[in-house]
């Protein structure tokens, strides 16, 4: 059985349950139609909308929580409109803010990071634990993009990608981690597509987006650690793919060559 893993965006942990079985090797790229030919890719670009950021200040947890809620409201509006128009299932995500995420939340081994966020596919809930490391410089766009990428996991859950991913078999750990990278990089890409759909944003410039990409570059797999997240440069590439097109079709990591999901 796969063990649970954390998809980290810098200090952020996003948990997805993993339950594949080590049997015969799967094709690489993946050949499951629910993954490589999901209707999500045929729905077209996300609708152009606007998203006004709520005020946020350094080390102000109350404002940061309201800020995240505001971003999620924009995500609900954009993705709801998009998925409904395509005849795909949609339900709003549930957001919870807690002082400390309970151990074994949603069946996961919760990490000890100061700031964390976990998505529970069973309930469609995104829970945030905001600590000093995320609040110290809360005014840049990283928190915005991180929330958008995590919402991408909710989208994967809604359209059946997560369920199909969990059913994948793998021959060895190397193949398992490649599958993990495909699902994680796709959520990065979907986050980038959302940012494009609300760009330009009032008070933001191209420099703000470059700062986000810089953080993403440093948020890849650590040397010597399991390769389930992707190199920083690979994460940047998929985030840019989503942003460049504003279209989930640009986020089909399942059909990508192994070198593109390294």
**Edge-to-edge strand ranges of the sheet holding 94-97:** 94-97, 125-129, 116-120
Instruction: Provide the pLDDT for residue 165.
Output: 96
- Spatial contact of 191 and 148, defined as CB atoms under 8 Å apart: yes
Distance set, CA 108 to CA 4, 98, 153 (Å): 6, 16, 16
Instruction: Provide the pLDDT for residue 14.
Output: 41
- Spatial contact of 242 and 251, defined as CB atoms under 8 Å apart: yes
- Give mean pLDDT in consecutive 10-residue pieces for the chain, a chain of 262 residues: 32 38 48 95 98 96 98 98 98 98 92 93 96 91 96 98 95 95 97 98 96 92 86 97 98 96 96
Instruction: Provide the pLDDT for residue 219.
Output: 87
- Spatial contact of 177 and 226, defined as CB atoms under 8 Å apart: yes
Helices (H) and strands (E) in the chain, counts: 8, 5
């Amino acid at each position: 059985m796969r063990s649970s893993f954390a998809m980290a965006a810098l200090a952020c942990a996003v948990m997805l349950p993993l339950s594949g079985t080590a049997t015969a090797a799967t094709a690489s790229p993946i050949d499951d139609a629910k993954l490589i030919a999901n209707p999500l890719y045929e729905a077209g670009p996300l609708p152009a909308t606007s998203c006004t950021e709520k005020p946020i200040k350094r080390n102000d947890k109350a404002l940061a929580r309201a800020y995240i809620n505001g971003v999620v409201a924009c995500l609900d509006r954009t993705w709801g409109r998009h998925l409904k128009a395509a005849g795909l299932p949609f339900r709003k995500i549930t957001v919870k803010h807690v002082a400390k995420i309970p151990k074994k939340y949603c069946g996961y081994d919760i990490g000890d990071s100061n700031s964390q966020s976990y998505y529970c596919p069973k309930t469609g809930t995104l829970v945030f634990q905001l600590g000093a490391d995320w609040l110290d410089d809360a005014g840049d766009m990283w928190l915005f993009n991180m929330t958008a990428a995590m919402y991408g996991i909710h989208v994967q859950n809604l359209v059946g990608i997560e369920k199909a991913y969990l059913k994948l078999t793998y021959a060895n750990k190397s193949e398992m981690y490649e599958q993990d990278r495909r699902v994680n990089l796709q959520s990065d890409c979907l986050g980038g597509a959302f940012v494009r759909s609300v760009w330009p944003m009032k008070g933001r410039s191209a420099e703000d987006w470059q700062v986000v990409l810089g953080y993403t570059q440093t948020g890849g797999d650590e040397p010597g650690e399991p390769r389930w997240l992707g190199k920083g440069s690979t994460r940047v590439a998929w985030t840019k793919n989503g942003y460049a097109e504003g279209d989930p079709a640009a986020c089909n990591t399942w059909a990508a060559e192994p070198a593109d999901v390294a």
